[in-house]
Amino acid sequence: MKRENVTHLLATDLDGTLVGEQEMTAFLLDYYKDRPYQVELVYVTGRHYASTMDLINDEKLPMPSVLISDVGTEMYDFNDPALHERWKKTLEEQWNPDAISRIVELCSGLMPQSIPSTHRLSYYAESDEAVEDVKRKLIDSSVPHKLIYSSGRDVDILPPNAGKGEALSFLIREKGWEEANILVAGDSGNDRDMLTLGYPSVIVGNCQEELKELPDHPMIFRAQRLCAGGIHEAWEHFFEKAAAVK
């Protein structure tokens, strides 16, 4: 189902981005209520579904129109449940978790995360060297995959066509939201591929080291303020400043 009337969209990571500074989150959500337009919310998180719902409840966040969970491997459109099936089908064509687990077992220094997810394998890494080792072995094996290392700790191994960026692009295409004013927000390595899609994007002030290394780009705004405060800063930069000039 296409929503033709979506003019503004915030596609945001949760931990360390929309969530992290409670006052800033409340301020941003109030600011959106005061806009003369509606801001559609899409949450794009590394958490799995149940863990995301717990966070939404604990932090009293509004329900988004769409939740992309599990580092861009699962997608829940609350207006169109069939979207999840279409997305999964594209991932499963190139997903071979058994072959990947066998290779990871040959490496030391990676502890499996205990998560219910079926379209990603996630680990805690003991060191950067352990990650380099598993990266090399996976590349040598030629098993299709995408490896994402974030926060000096989390290693996610995904189908090659998954990830937050691929999932968000798929969603925007499916919903016909290409013409909307879209702001993408994140704070760590698993956000990199959605922050570089070419939409207005914000790296919040409290970002992890791996995002400080990202090359500068006119569409990437580096906020001074933390978490949701940085989202607000970028929203003004991209959308409200332009409105004032018109």
Alpha-carbon distance of 142 to 153, in angstroms, equals: 24
Name residue 122's amino acid: S
Q: Which does 77 bind (CB under 5 to 8 A by kind): Mg ion, ligand GLC, none?
A: none
Smallest gap from residue 45 Cβ to ligand GLC (A): 7
Closest CA to 41 of 165, 233, 180: 180
Name the binder of 52 from Mg ion, ligand GLC, none, CB < 5-8 A by kind.
Answer: none
154 lines the binding site for ligand GLC (CB under 6 A): yes
CA 126, chain centre distance (Å): 23
Q: By C-alpha distance, which of 174, 233, 180 is closest to 202?
A: 233
* Backbone φ, ψ for residue 29 (5° rounding): -65, -35
Is residue 156 within the footprint of ligand GLC (CB under 6 A)?
Answer: yes
Site for ligand GLC in 82-121 (CB under 6 A): 113, 115
Q: Is the CB of 104 or the CB of 115 nearer to ligand GLC?
A: 115
Structure tokens at 208: 């992890």
DSSP-derived letter for residue 215 is P
Name the residue nearer to ligand GLC (CB basis): 21 or 70.
70
List C-alpha distances in Å: 89 to 73, 82, 94, 189. 11, 11, 10, 26
Partner from Mg ion, ligand GLC, none binding residue 21, C-beta < 5-8 Å depending on class: none
**Binding to ligand GLC in span 123-152, by CB under 6 A:** 150
Comparing CB distances to Mg ion, the nearer of 16 and 95 is 16
Residues 10-49 that bind ligand GLC (CB under 6 A): 46-47
In whole angstroms, give the CA distance from residue 39 to residue 151.
29
The footprint of ligand GLC (CB under 6 A) covers 46-47, 71, 113, 115, 122, 150, 154, 156, 190
